[in-house]
Amino acid sequence: MVIMNFGGPRRVTATGAAPFDDILDVGVYYGSMTLLLTLIGVEGATGTPSLEITLETAMEPKGGVWIALGSFTPLSVANTADKKTFTGLLRFIRWNVTTLNNVAAATFSLTGIARNP
């Protein structure tokens, strides 16, 4: 078992995949990850804000085909979190903001553990 961390808190202003620096190389050692997505804050909220993040996996980090492993429950209130376990990992893992509604920006953290198969 190993602690996984996608870096410090991340601030996003649009949908899209993680930058290259946030891609984790889990090698061939881990078969599952349990991650905690925490919505730290929202800026410029109008109506009901919503942040949804999907976890993706691939064999090549650049130019490869990324496959969705699953999505966290959408979060809308600061200081709330969702925990989810993902299986079927390939070598590389990244987050992808698939929904960012009714906010100018959202800040989140993504941490957890990876386990051997």
pLDDT 10s digits, 56-99: 999 999 878 999 999 999 999 999 999 999 999 999 999 999 99
Catalogue all structural domains in the chain, each as residue range(s) with its CATH number: 2-115 (2.60.120.1110)
Residue length of the chain = 117
pLDDT for residue 40: 96
pLDDT 10s digits, 26-41: 988 888 999 999 999 9
Task: Tell me: pLDDT of 8 over 90.
Answer: no
What are 52's two structure tokens?
């949804």
- Angle at Cα 75 formed by Cα 12 and Cα 79, nearest 5°? 85
The mean pLDDT of the chain is 93
Task: Tell me: pLDDT of 50 over 90.
Answer: yes
